[in-house]
Homo-oligomer: A and B are copies of this chain.
Amino acid sequence: MVIPAPAVAGSGGSAPGSVGDVRRSNLALVLGRIAEFPRGAHPSRAQLAAATGLTKASVSSLVLDLLDAGIIREIGFNPQGRGRPGVGLELNPGRAVMGMEINVDYISAAVVDLAGKVLVREVQERDNRNSVDGPVLAALAVLAARVRGAAGGHGVEVLGGGLAVPGLVDPAAARVLTAPNLGWAGVDLDLGALLPEAPLGVALFNEANAAALAELRHRPDGASDFLFVSGEVGVGGGLVIGSELFTGPGGHAGEVGHIVVDPDGARCSCGGTGCLETVAGQDAIFEAAGIGPVEHSRSAAMAKLLQALDARQPGALAAVERAGRCLGIALASTARVVNIASVVLGGHFAVLEPWLRSPLLESLQKYAPGRYAAGQVSVSAVGESGALLGAAGSVIRSLVEAPHKLLA
């Protein structure tokens, strides 16, 4: 017998099987064009028809469904010179999603409307090192409820949420496989409790991946292919290819922190040897620079490092320079494996960029000449809140790609 399979997987809406799928696909197509319209400008039905190739009649009908579902709304007029002015359409700012983050030193939550505007945001310091998941999630649930309440005051409805965690995750199972810096391993999260009654639920993300998605949305150059390198205690990465997160067959691609940059190097927490993280991770740099644990506070240590760099202390300079060189080696190899030519530096790599940049570029030139143009090594445009914004943005995006889930 044949292995039975559903006609049309709801998986990605990519394989139409019946006529109804055409509708789903076109709803997403139209909504996608509305969503990607530049801020401030609002497309009319006629413009959407031209942009999508659908007829005006089809677009009108599709738009009607989206209006009924409250996903978009009409806003103002759109004079085209002569003739009847079009009616502008935009994502409904009365609907929103929540981004949440658990990190080593804090938890945070923010409400972002469908247009991408941050309405409320709160960061709460909390030491989550070697923590147990239950209490952390409970604290986050309280924070989320408060932030949600504040958003409700704005008259905004929260449809769903995304949670970013610094570790390897299995999004489908809502499971954190390993988050060494939290001390978590194999932890199943009760995400539903974070945002009860939100129709779209809560999705789970790796922190670097979420930050990469935030970069995708906020890059001034509009790049659609790049590697986001997240420098935290560990070194993570998010690989964006064709405006999509590339996660690989197992779901954990882009782990540049564990590329081998020194075959004779130190043992890594991952069990490997000579990984980039052993040279360019925060703790590794602090140690090489001779900066001891500053009252367990990494931000204090980072301040001290910056001071040392400003004072041109040889040890600190050498540590950062070595990190830059090794980052270059890792990026050279990455360029070959996934053929990417653009890098965005995040986390402490963004902070240290003035000192990292030149050894990094030299290293790229030495190990992968011609692969990265100089302008293709840039600094994060979203900064610290990247993971938070990315988690929220990703939920918005999944809504834009599957609007039928919200139709009556």
Contact = CB atoms under 8 A, between A and B. Distances in A.
A92 interface: no
Most chain B CB within 10 A, of A52, A242, A250, A260, is at A260
Interface stretch (A11-19, A65-73, A125-133): A11-19
A311 interface: no
Main secondary structure, interface of A, reads: loop
Interface of A: 1-8, 14-19, 21-22, 25-26, 29, 33, 43, 47-48, 50-54, 224-225, 239, 241-242, 246-263, 270-274, 329-330, 332-334, 336-341, 366-370
25 contacts: A1-B47, A2-B43, A2-B51, A5-B51, A7-B52, A7-B53, A14-B14, A16-B16, A16-B25, A17-B25, A17-B54, A18-B22, A225-B249, A247-B339, A251-B339, A254-B337, A255-B337, A256-B337, A258-B333, A258-B336, A258-B368, A259-B333, A261-B263, A272-B367, A273-B366
A1 to B, nearest CB: 7
A2 B339 contact: no
Contact of A260 (B43, B332, B341): B332
A247 to B, nearest CB: 7
Contact of A338 (B48, B270, B337): B337
A32 B33 CA distance: 32
A283 to B, nearest CB: 19
Given A15-B29, A249-B340, 7 more contacts: A2-B33, A16-B22, A239-B337, A254-B337, A263-B329, A272-B332, A337-B337
Among A258, A263, A272, A329, residue most surrounded by chain B Cβ atoms (within 10 Å): A263
Contacts of A262: 263
